[in-house]
Amino acid sequence: MLLSGALLVLAFSPFDLWPAAVVSIAVLWLVLAHAPARHALVHGWAFGLGVFGLGVSWVYHSIHLFGDAIAPVAGLLTAGFVALLALLPAILAWLLRRCFPCPRPWQVALVWPAGWVLLEWVRWWLGGGFPWLLLGQSLPDTAAGGWLPVGGPLLGSWVLATLAGLLAWLLSEPGRRARILVLAGLLILSGLGLNQLQWVQAEGRPLKVALLQGNIPQDRKWLPEERAPTLALYRRMTLEHRDRDLVIWPETAIPAYLRTVETDYLEPLAEETRGMAVLAGVFTYDYARDGPYNSLVRIDAPHRLAYYKHHLVVFGEYFPLRDLLGIFHGLLDIPMSDVLEGGRRPLLPVDGISVGPSICFEAAFPDELADALPEAAVLVNVSNDAWFGDSLAPHQHLQIARTAAAALGRPLLRATNTGITAIIDAHGRVLARAPQFLRQALLGTVQPMQGMTPYARWRNLPVVVLAILVLLGGCVFSYGKGRS
C-alpha cells in the first residue's frame, strides 16, 4: 500500500501523469474490498504514508534549511505531520469497511468515491486546512478538466475516484466489461463536453503585465545588508517595464516593514511609475493590534491600497495551541511567524478593472478566492516558494493555482520570488512561465473575464451535500441487505 500511495504523487506536477491517480485509488479500493476488515485501518494508513511521505516531503526541506531546525528535529516534525495526514485515509478505510462489511464491486465503484470526496473536504478545513494533493488538482488542461468549473477540485476528485472504482470493478468482475466501459466512457465524454462550454466572457481590453521574479535566496533575503540591493533590484526591474499596465512583485519582495521604506523609497518610486499599477508584497505593521500583516500593496496609489492575507499557514505564520506546543516553537526560527489575520472580500482596482489578490497558500482555497467574484476580472497570487527550494512544492503550488483559475473562470497572474512565476488563463492553461531560480521579468498579456462559473457561485456545498447523501444511502442500503 505504501507503493500504491506513492504512485498517486505521479498524478501531480511536475510529473502530470493524471491516470496514475486512477490506478493508485483503484489499488486502494481493491485491497480494502478484499482484505479482512480488521486490516482496513492499517491499509489506509500505509496508503496515506505513501502519498504524503513522498508528496509533502518538501516540508523537511523547509524546516531544516530555512527554519534552522537541526536534521533530527526537522525529520521528527515532518514524520509527525505525514503520520497525522495519513490518519485521515486510515479512518476512511475503517469507516468504509464498517459500513460495507461485504462490499459489492458496484458499491466500491459508485459509493466509495463519495467517501473519498468527504475525506478531501475534511482535509480542506480541518486544523486550518491543507487542501494539497487533492485528486482534482491533477486535472487542469486535461480531458476531465471540464468538471472543474462545475464543481471545483472536489468534483474533479469524485470523477477520478469513480474512474478508479470502475477500474476496480472491471478487475473484480470482468464479465461486466461492457457496462463498466460504458459508464467510464460517459464520464470521460462528459468532461470533454464540459470543456467546450464557455461559462465566462471576455471583458474589456487585455492588460499588459510584467511579473517580477527577483530570485533572492531565502537564506539571504532578510539579512540587513541585502535590503538596499533588493530594493534597488525591484526598482530597476519595474522601471525597465514602464510600458506595462500592471507590474507585480512577489510575496514579501520588500524585506522590511512598509512604514520603514515608505518615505525614502516608495514615494519616489510612485512618482516614477505614475500611470501604471504596481503591486508589491510587504509586511505592514498594525500598531493598534501590535502585529504584522502579510500584505499586497498597490504602491502607486494614494494611501497605499492594500490586501492583508486572510488564510494564514499553521506553524508558518501563526502557532496554534502555543501553551501545549510551545516547545516546538522554540525549535524553529521562522521570520515573521506571528502574523495577524486580514479580512475577507479582497479587491484592488487596476486600470478600471477589479483584481482579486491572494498570497501564497491562499491559492489552494478557490472557495475563498471566489469572495472577490463577480467583480474581480483577474486574479493575482504572489508567493515566495524559495522556502521549498528545488523540491516538488513549487510545481504542485503552480498546479493548484491553475486549478483555482479553471474552477473560477478567471485568469491568474502568479508572481514568485524564485519560481514558478506564470501567466495562467481562465481555463487553467499556462500561457507563459519563467524558469525557476532565474532572475526575470515575465512579460505577457492577460484578458480580463466576467461571469460566474457554477463553482464560483455555489462553491463546495453541492458536491459535499451530494457526497454525504450518496454515502449515507449506500450505508443504509448495505445495512438493509445485510439484515435481510
Task: Catalogue the active-site residues.
Answer: 251, 309, 360
Residue at grid coordinates 528545488: 390
Crossing angle for the helix pair 40-55 and 19-34, to the nearest 10 degrees = 160
Contact 417, 213 (CB under 8 A): yes
CA-nearest of 198, 137, 141 to 453 is: 198
Tell which residue, 467, 375, 448, has the closest CA to residue 202. Answer: 448
The answer for residues whose C-beta is within 8 angstroms of residue 129's C-beta and 6 or more apart is 123, 311, 364, 365
Residue written as grid cell 473536504: 121
Query: Strand locations in 265-411, DSSP E?
Result: 277-286, 291-298, 306-308, 348-350, 353-359, 376-383
Region of 321 on the Ramachandran plot (φ > 0 left; ψ -120 to 50 alpha; else beta):
left
CB 359 within 8 A of CB 251: yes
CA distances to 33, 216, 360, 382, 395 from 312, rounded to whole Å, are 39, 23, 9, 14, 21
Instruction: Report the b/e string of 32-43 with b at 16+ CB within 10 A.
Output: bbeeebebbbeb
Residue 101: how many CB atoms within 10 A of its CB? Answer: 10
